[in-house]
Structure 1
Amino acid sequence: MGRHFRPARVAQATKELMAANLVHDTPRWYKAVNMIPPAEILTRPYPVQHTTPNPHARRPRNLFKPTRMVYPEDELRRDFFRDHPWELARPRMILELDGKDARYLDWSKGLRQPGMPLSGECVVQRQLWLMENVPNMTKEAAYDAARREFYELRQLEDIQRRIAVEEARMVGAYFGKSTLQYGMDIEDKEYERWKKWAAVEINKMEVEKQKAYTNVVDVPNNPVIEEELLNDVL
């Protein structure tokens, strides 16, 4: 497309038109553009140098590369989900209002927060609160304290779930097969498939063994023939 500097010289052209009495009314933007003129180059300018640059030094790399954003919760999340990978398999609602929903909750009261289900994020926020508000609380100690609360609540959820299932069965509810029963069914099917495969393989081995013995010729016990065979070998 090329470089066009005509838009950058609008103020100069207007000034010349006003001097020639071709423009009678001063535009409203004229004073502002004269005070802050547009840039004359089409590339991004270098930042202001507070020290005298060294002409022999190399030009810095990645000068305009955006800074990587790092939050303290990132490392805490990485540690938790590394130790508890199955927590990632639990369904979770990730819709938030402004991305700062965790800051609106009071993590001094524990992991249970109104409107937020128990998850690994609760452990991360609780650990961060302990690290920032409890004196002499290290990262490892805060992690152990948050995990202890998390395990107790998970155990309580399992107990409540088992009691609810037992109560429902007492009044005639039927939940179908359990996870263990589904696993046993899959194992039985695999075992039956393996037995059929093993029977076919054993049959093939027997056939190969019989083929190996069909080419053997039985030699009668004749001393003359044995002596001739021995002479041939010698």
Structure 2
Amino acid sequence: MVRRIASQVHKQASRLTRAGFLKTPPVWYQAVLDHPPLPLPPREPPSRTSYDDGAPGTPAKKGVQGPRLLPISYVEDGIRRQFFRDHPFEAFRPRSITEAGAIEDEHPTSGLQWTRLNQRSRNPSPEDAVRFALNLHQSHGLALSDAYATSVAQFRTLRAVQHVATRFAAQSAAAHGARFGPSATTRGFEAEGRVLAANELKSERMDDSARLARRRWRMIAPGTAAVRGDSSGAPVAGDDADRNAWSRGEEYVRLWREGVRVDYSPALTEPIVPVDPADYMGTRRRPIRR
């Protein structure tokens, strides 16, 4: 027999039985007829129900035939979302996510017996507060807003008690000679200080050429003399008193009124002085003189 798809095996057996090739139907024949296999979607799409087709009176979208999915939501999801919206910093507390060998057993205090949050722990976690609010809502019949307010109030009280007890325990230990290491905040500031000190030391060791390269886009280069024109119009270097001075363009305007055309590039117009090639044979290298 030719190899068939699972959804067509019973049809082939029916044809063989009617043709007389099979004298008696197989043992599984009646069971498959009572519970036929699921048809393949490309060949025979499943039948649609009234729920899948949409509510009566609503127009069906063109090309969309898939079933509608209901949103899956739980009451504790809304409580947890509101809790972390009111207490965002609780999400930064360290928590172990290592899975144990078995599922954690349900706490013996639950249901109607669980009336106070501290019955499970004096240092509750956010998940304990969410479960306590859910228990008050489902087991004790409180409104969800009242159950959440009661759970949050007890959670904040236990957090405050834990904080005060920890502070006093640390002060008592310090009074008896205990020495605590730096906190996470202090270690962060120390690491930042080391990075800043390393950058400052690196900048101090930087040579002059690198410093000038970093300051090459300044308006007035430090350590250069102001350019002035003499009677012939050629620029000359000023003295030490005129260094880093800016004439505000007065010298340029004066030469312009006198009709003197200043040539700021005499090195480009003067002939090149020949240099002895022997200067390049040794270790001493001198640039071309202009």
TM range (shorter): 0.5 to 0.7
> Structure 1 regions of 5+ residues with no counterpart?
none
Equivalences for 1:117-132 in 2 at 5 Å? 118-132=124-138
Q: CA deviation at 1:71?
A: 0.8
Partner of 1:156: 161
Tell me the C-alpha RMSD between the 2 structures: 4.9
> Structure 2 regions of 5+ residues with no counterpart?
232-250, 260-290
Equivalences for 1:23-172 in 2 at 5 Å? 23=24, 28-34=27-33, 36=34, 38=36, 41-43=39-41, 44-49=45-50, 58=60, 61=64, 63-93=66-96, 95=99, 101=106, 105-106=110-111, 108-114=114-120, 118-132=124-138, 133-135=140-142, 137=143, 139=145, 141-169=146-174
What TM-score results when the alignment is normalised by the length of structure 1? Answer: 0.61
Equivalent pair of 1:8/1:39 in contact (CA under 8 Å): no
Q: CA deviation at 1:80?
A: 1.4
**Change in CA separation of 1:28 and 1:211 when aligned onto 2, cut-off 3 Å:** same
What TM-score results when the alignment is normalised by the length of structure 2? Answer: 0.52
Q: CA deviation at 1:185?
A: 2.8
Percent identity between matched residues is: 23
In structure 2, distance between residues paired with 1:148 and 1:71: 23
Q: CA deviation at 1:87?
A: 1.5
Partner of 2:236: none
> What per-residue deviation string (whole Å, max 9, x for no partner) do you get for residues 126-157 of structure 1?
2233344355x452x43332222111111222
Flag the structure with higher helix content: 1
**Change in CA separation of 1:12 and 1:153 when aligned onto 2, cut-off 3 Å:** same
Q: CA deviation at 1:47?
A: 3.5
Name the SS of the counterpart of 1:158 in structure 2: helix
Select the structure with the greater relative contact order (CA < 8 A; seq sep ≥ 6).
Answer: 1
Match for residue 183 of structure 2 among 174, 178, 181: 178
Amino acid at match of 1:144: A
**Change in CA separation of 1:190 and 1:151 when aligned onto 2, cut-off 3 Å:** farther
**Change in CA separation of 1:164 and 1:10 when aligned onto 2, cut-off 3 Å:** farther
Name the SS of the counterpart of 1:87 in structure 2: helix
Matched, 1:216 2:227: yes
